[in-house]
């Protein structure tokens, strides 16, 4: 929204403030002003000139040779093509070097052999009017050499505000509302708005108006006006204000509507009266399939939820949004029906949105305008019309239907509470004075102030005492509030073990496992999920996705993390990303259940050790086991295979207490499909809710270390390769019993002297008792048991 300072000056004296100062006042007390620009600034380099000589061009019929005085030391020669140029004329002159609003730069030139050092401009060239007939003629008393913009009074500082910052203020959709604010901020008088006070006594029959949709329209007034002549151009002053605030002048009838809208915020609409069949107005819902060609020439199929203004036969306007083309005020229209109404905000907004048509009118109606504005706007229109067209005739007082009063609202405000909440020492009298300056009426009622809300604030934003606290605070000045620490009892905040656990896991991941924490989208592309083998119907779905096809809500962060890992492959041959994030599962009704996950994806070039220590799978397993240990789960045996993870390699996977933890290599089918043939990719996934639940019980318990020496024993077993390592380890642990303190595989190989299908596993074992020094026979006993175990497993001890 653009606010003209010249316009504001009609209602409140701002002459002692710079435009930037006014902008700052509004930003600090009302709503943010995003910028200050000067309308007409591009005309600054133009000056008033005088044609001191004018003769025909010797070589061209339509050109004239002139000498122009523009206040410089010497006059300059200018070739002019306009037919209305003549000696003694005051004109708009563009000297050499200046740039016209259209971007044309004036240079020294020769036209048909004659020098031309500047340009005498037309209104069109200056974008001041559509007049192409000739050059702009200035008043004969215009001062030669003076800035053209100043001479014409074109300069107007304009404030820019973001409409979004005003949505809650129905009173700020026109200049008068801003003037009221500034008057209150500066403690100055607000000039009353000149209005037509009395309509003429009833003459012709009143226009029948019927409101069928009372919720969509609470009040509708129609005013019959007979013009002395068809629409014509508005006076300069009106045109310039419209231009300065961003509207294009059209004709005086339309311009006045816009002018009133920009002053008061209330849109009005003029119908060509003869075009209204049956000379009546019905405000109703559209019939299904009904059509309306709107002012922009588009034929629109209406929705039953659309509210329309109709005559006896057909819709003539989309209520509050746009008028119809065939009832538009045309070049020959002299009889008008001027509409001013109170339309329902939501109904207008939905219609505007439905038809992709956000007009200046709809933007205002959707803010819940003060219904009292409807009549005010008609009176203001009539006043302005009388100024510019004294011969126009108001046929009769407006006909109306509905009610234009808001409920008078009274609020009791406790001044002490107000001062406490704002944290400033503001006296009761000052509070009353601030409210009154904004148009509220305030009177003492015991300990409270009894405050009456003016209609322009009652339609939406001021409802309760706290709303008054805001009014008082912002006019008083928020910048005067000083910070102060809250005084409260010293208490430790509630413990948050889940979050503490997460912090520890993160510290391990980046500190011990060189992993980088990432963040991935909650949304999954349908096609990506399907490539990973996930079924689309097992997901929570977004109704209006941010992008077509990206409509699934992830179960866990693995799919997005995989996508990110693949995205990194080209630049980074190895790496590890992890994320702590939430995932969701669909549910019949209500809130989909949420789980917190930790997922990590690790990758490295293919071709290293495939399994066991040194392999990617082992590294991933180590991460998982480390994180489980970090949560206090010291021993927790995994099962081979993956549950509920179609992206996982079915054989190269381990699951801990499903769904607690999972480690898997990527399914070979996917590596191919994702273009990751040359990389090995592993996934770790931990259910943090589950981990937290289990961790709550697990606390490390200290045992004093044994004071007795240990025996180190190395054993190597040759076993069929089909015996899983886990079984071997179990067997050795059983063999070692209580005295086996540590067991660590240090070598694994096949081939060599081993029989085919056999492999060798070599272990360091550390034997120690807590109550005695172990002897040779203890070691022998261990070795014997190991040998027996090896035989049970189909192999034997290697020497």
Partner 1 sequence: MRDRLEELQSQGLAAIQQAEAEEGLRAIEVRLLGRKGEITSVLKSLGTLPAAERPLLGQLANEVKQGLAEALQARRSDLQALAMAAELEADGFDATLPGDPLPGGGVHPVNQVSRDLEDLFQSMGFQIADGPEVELEELNFDALNIPADHPARESHDTIWITPPDQRGAGKQGVVLRTHTSPVQVRALRRFGAPLRVVAPGRVYRQESLDATHEHTFHQMEGLVVDRGVGVPHMLHAMNTLIEGVMGRKLETRLRPGFFPFVEPGFELDARCPFCKSGCGVCKNSTWIELMPGGLVHPNVLRACDVDPEEFSGYAFGLGLSRIVMLRYGIDDIRWLMSGSLSFLRQFHP
- Residues within window 456-515 making contact with partner 1, judged by CB under 8 A: 464, 466-467, 469-470, 473-474, 478-479, 481-486, 488, 490-494, 496, 499, 503, 506-507, 509-511, 513-515
| Interacting residues with partner 1 between 754 and 783 (CB under 8 A) | none
CB closer to partner 1, 506 vs 754: 506
CB closer to partner 1, 103 vs 485: 485
| Interacting residues with partner 1 between 319 and 358 (CB under 8 A) | 345-346, 349, 353
Structure tokens at 525: 């592309």
Residue 684 engages partner 1 in binding (rule: CB under 8 A): no
Number of residues in contact with partner 1, rule: CB under 8 A?
86
Residue of 516, 708, 746, 749 interacting with partner 1 (CB under 8 A): 516
Shortest gap between Cβ of 182 and partner 1 (angstroms)? 14
Residue 20 engages partner 1 in binding (rule: CB under 8 A): no
Residue 722 engages partner 1 in binding (rule: CB under 8 A): no
CB closer to partner 1, 333 vs 459: 459
CB closer to partner 1, 24 vs 137: 24
Q: Name the segment binding partner 1 (CB under 8 A); options: 329-337, 576-584, 651-659, 727-735.
A: 576-584
* 396 neighbors 198 (Cβ within 8 angstroms): no
Residue of 146, 383, 389, 582 interacting with partner 1 (CB under 8 A): 582
Q: Name the segment binding partner 1 (CB under 8 A); options: 11-19, 25-33, 428-436, 624-632.
A: 25-33
Shortest gap between Cβ of 121 and partner 1 (angstroms)? 32
CB closer to partner 1, 201 vs 486: 486
Shortest gap between Cβ of 9 and partner 1 (angstroms)? 24
Structure tokens at 78: 């200018």
DSSP 620-636: HHHHHHHHHHHTT----
Residue 720 engages partner 1 in binding (rule: CB under 8 A): no
CB closer to partner 1, 346 vs 773: 346
| Interacting residues with partner 1 between 369 and 398 (CB under 8 A) | none
Strand segments, DSSP code E, in 10-123 are 33-39, 47-57, 60-69, 76-80, 90-94, 109-111, 114-116, 119-120
Quick one: which of 388, 402, 468 has its CA closest to 435?
468
DSSP 388-411: H-TT-EE-SSPEEEE---PPPEEE
Shortest gap between Cβ of 747 and partner 1 (angstroms)? 26
Shortest gap between Cβ of 307 and partner 1 (angstroms)? 15
Please count the other Cβ atoms lying within 10 Å of the Cβ belonging to residue 668.
Answer: 12
Residue of 150, 236, 303, 521 interacting with partner 1 (CB under 8 A): 521
Cα 262 from Cα 32, distance rounded (Å): 19
Cα 154 from Cα 243, distance rounded (Å): 10
CB closer to partner 1, 337 vs 413: 413
Cα 135 from Cα 46, distance rounded (Å): 14
CB closer to partner 1, 559 vs 795: 559
Shortest gap between Cβ of 93 and partner 1 (angstroms)? 33
CB closer to partner 1, 144 vs 562: 562
CB closer to partner 1, 407 vs 543: 543
Residue of 577, 598, 633, 767 interacting with partner 1 (CB under 8 A): 577
Shortest gap between Cβ of 22 and partner 1 (angstroms)? 15
Alpha helices (runs of H) in 665-775, residue ranges in sequence order: 668-673, 688-695, 725-736
Residue of 127, 416, 517, 672 interacting with partner 1 (CB under 8 A): 517
Residue 526 engages partner 1 in binding (rule: CB under 8 A): no
Contacts of 222 (CB under 8 A, 6+ apart): 207, 209, 281, 337, 338, 339, 398, 399, 400
Quick one: which of 18, 162, 169, 25 has its CA closest to 477?
25
CB closer to partner 1, 379 vs 513: 513
> Distance between alpha carbon 317 and the CA centroid of its chain, in Å?
31
Residue of 232, 527, 594, 770 interacting with partner 1 (CB under 8 A): 594
175-210 residues labelled b (16+ CB within 10 A) or e (exposed): bbbbbbbbbbbbeeebeeeeebeeeeeeeeeebebe
Residue 541 engages partner 1 in binding (rule: CB under 8 A): yes
* 727 neighbors 789 (Cβ within 8 angstroms): no
> What's the residue count for the chain?
799
CB closer to partner 1, 494 vs 703: 494
Shortest gap between Cβ of 567 and partner 1 (angstroms)? 7
Distances from the Cα of 314 to the Cα of 103, 296, 359, 379, angstroms = 47, 18, 22, 29
CB closer to partner 1, 99 vs 445: 445
Q: Name the segment binding partner 1 (CB under 8 A); options: 37-45, 100-108, 569-577, 791-799.
A: 569-577
Residue of 73, 537, 543, 771 interacting with partner 1 (CB under 8 A): 543
> Distance between alpha carbon 44 and the CA centroid of its chain, in Å?
37
CB closer to partner 1, 67 vs 167: 167
Distances from the Cα of 131 to the Cα of 50, 122, 233, 241, angstroms = 20, 7, 11, 18
Shortest gap between Cβ of 479 and partner 1 (angstroms)? 5
Cα 532 from Cα 670, distance rounded (Å): 7
478-515 residues labelled b (16+ CB within 10 A) or e (exposed): eeeeeeeeeeeeeeeeeeeebeebbeebbebbeeebeb
Shortest gap between Cβ of 160 and partner 1 (angstroms)? 12
Residue 561 engages partner 1 in binding (rule: CB under 8 A): yes
Shortest gap between Cβ of 483 and partner 1 (angstroms)? 4
Residue of 140, 201, 546, 701 interacting with partner 1 (CB under 8 A): 546
* 300 neighbors 267 (Cβ within 8 angstroms): no
CB closer to partner 1, 179 vs 728: 179
* 412 neighbors 495 (Cβ within 8 angstroms): no
Residue with tokens 């209005």: 195
| Interacting residues with partner 1 between 152 and 171 (CB under 8 A) | 165, 167-169
CB closer to partner 1, 396 vs 565: 565
- Kindly tell me the burial class for residue 38, based on how many C-beta atoms sit within 10 Å of its own C-beta (0-12, 13-18, 19 or more): middle
| Interacting residues with partner 1 between 29 and 48 (CB under 8 A) | 29-32
Please count the other Cβ atoms lying within 10 Å of the Cβ belonging to residue 239.
Answer: 20
CB closer to partner 1, 204 vs 490: 490
Shortest gap between Cβ of 421 and partner 1 (angstroms)? 5
Q: Name the segment binding partner 1 (CB under 8 A); options: 402-410, 538-546, 653-661, 782-790.
A: 538-546
The interface mask with partner 1, positions 402-441, x = CB under 8 A, is ------------------xxxx------------------
Alpha helices (runs of H) in 280-372, residue ranges in sequence order: 345-354, 360-365
Residue with tokens 């799919």: 559
Cα 87 from Cα 67, distance rounded (Å): 9
Residue 540 engages partner 1 in binding (rule: CB under 8 A): yes
């Amino acid at each position: 929204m653009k606010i003209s300072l010249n316009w504001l000056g009609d209602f409140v004296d701002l002459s002692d403030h710079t435009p930037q100062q006014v902008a700052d006042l509004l930003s600090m007390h009302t709503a943010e002003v995003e910028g200050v620009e000067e309308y007409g600034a591009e005309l600054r380099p133009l000056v008033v000139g005088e044609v001191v000589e004018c003769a025909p061009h010797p070589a061209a019929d339509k050109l004239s040779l002139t000498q122009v005085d523009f206040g410089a030391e010497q006059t300059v020669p200018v070739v002019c093509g306009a037919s209305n140029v003549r000696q003694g004329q005051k004109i708009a002159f563009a000297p050499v070097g200046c740039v016209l609003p259209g971007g044309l730069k004036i240079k020294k030139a020769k036209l048909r052999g004659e020098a031309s050092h500047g340009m005498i401009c037309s209104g069109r060239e200056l974008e001041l009017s559509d007049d192409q007939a000739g050059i702009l003629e200035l008043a004969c008393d215009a001062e030669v050499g003076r800035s053209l913009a100043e001479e014409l009074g074109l300069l107007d500082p304009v404030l820019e505000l973001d409409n979004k910052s005003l949505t809650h203020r129905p009173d700020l959709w026109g200049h008068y509302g801003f003037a009221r604010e500034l008057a209150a901020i500066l403690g100055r008088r607000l000039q009353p708005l000149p209005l037509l006070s009395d309509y003429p006594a009833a003459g012709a029959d009143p226009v029948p108006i019927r409101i069928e949709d009372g919720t969509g329209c609470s009040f509708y007034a129609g005013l019959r006006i007979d013009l002395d002549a068809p629409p014509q151009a508005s006076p300069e002053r009106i045109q310039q204000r419209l231009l300065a605030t961003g509207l294009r002048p059209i004709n005086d009838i339309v311009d006045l509507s816009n002018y009133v809208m920009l002053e008061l915020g209330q849109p009005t609409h003029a119908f060509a009266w003869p075009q209204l069949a049956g000379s009546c107005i019905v405000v109703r819902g559209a019939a299904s399939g009904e059509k309306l060609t709107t002012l922009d020439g588009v034929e629109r199929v209406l929705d039953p939820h659309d509210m329309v203004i109709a005559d006896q036969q057909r819709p003539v306007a989309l209520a509050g949004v746009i008028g119809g083309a065939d009832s538009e005020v045309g070049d020959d229209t002299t009889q008008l029906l001027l509409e001013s109404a109170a339309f329902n905000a939501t109904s207008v907004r939905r219609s505007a949105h439905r038809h992709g048509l956000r007009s200046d009118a709809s933007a205002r109606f959707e803010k819940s305008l003060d219904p009292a504005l409807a009549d005010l706007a008609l009176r203001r229109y009539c006043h302005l019309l009388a100024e510019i067209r004294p011969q126009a005739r108001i046929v009769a007082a407006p006909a109306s239907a509905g009610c234009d009063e808001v409920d008078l609202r009274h609020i009791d405000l406790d001044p002490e509470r107000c001062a406490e909440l704002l944290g400033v020492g503001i006296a009761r009298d000052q509070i009353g004075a601030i409210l009154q300056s904004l148009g509220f009426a305030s009177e003492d009622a015991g300990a409270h102030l009894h405050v009456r809300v003016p209609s322009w604030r009652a339609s939406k934003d001021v409802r309760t005492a706290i709303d008054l606290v805001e009014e008082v605070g912002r006019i008083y000045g928020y910048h005067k509030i000083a910070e102060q620490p809250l005084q409260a009892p010293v208490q430790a905040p509630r413990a948050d073990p889940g979050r503490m656990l997460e912090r520890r896991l993160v510290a391990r991941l980046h500190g011990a496992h060189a992993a980088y924490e990432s963040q991935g989208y909650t949304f999954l592309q349908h096609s990506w999920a399907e490539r990973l083998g996930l079924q689309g119907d097992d997901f929570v779905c977004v109704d209006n996705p941010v992008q077509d096809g990206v409509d699934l809500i992830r179960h866990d962060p693995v799919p997005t993390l995989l996508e990110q890992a693949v995205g990194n492959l080209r630049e980074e041959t190895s790496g590890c990303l992890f994320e702590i994030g939430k995932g969701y599962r669909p549910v019949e009704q209500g809130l989909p259940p949420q789980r917190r996950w930790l997922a990590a994806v690790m990758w490295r070039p293919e071709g290293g050790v495939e399994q066991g220590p040194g392999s990617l799978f082992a590294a991933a397993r180590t991460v998982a086991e480390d994180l489980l240990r970090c949560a206090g789960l010291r021993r927790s045996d995994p099962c081979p295979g993956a549950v509920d993870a179609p992206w996982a390699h079915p054989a190269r996977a381990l699951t801990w207490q499903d769904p607690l933890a999972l480690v898997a290599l990527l399914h070979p089918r996917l590596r191919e499909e994702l273009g990751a043939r040359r990389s090995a990719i592993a996934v770790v996934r931990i259910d943090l809710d589950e981990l937290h639940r289990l961790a709550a019980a697990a606390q490390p318990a200290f045992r004093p270390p044994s004071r007795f020496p240990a025996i180190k024993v190395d054993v190597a077993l040759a076993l069929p390769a089909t015996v899983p390592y886990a079984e071997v380890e179990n067997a050795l642990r059983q063999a070692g019993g209580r005295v086996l303190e540590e067991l660590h595989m240090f070598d694994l190989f096949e081939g060599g002297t081993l029989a085919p299908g056999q492999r060798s596993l070599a272990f360091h074992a550390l034997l120690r008792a807590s109550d005695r020094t172990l002897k040779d026979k203890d070691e022998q006993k261990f070795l014997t048991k190991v040998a027996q175990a090896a035989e049970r497993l189909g192999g034997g001890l290697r020497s």
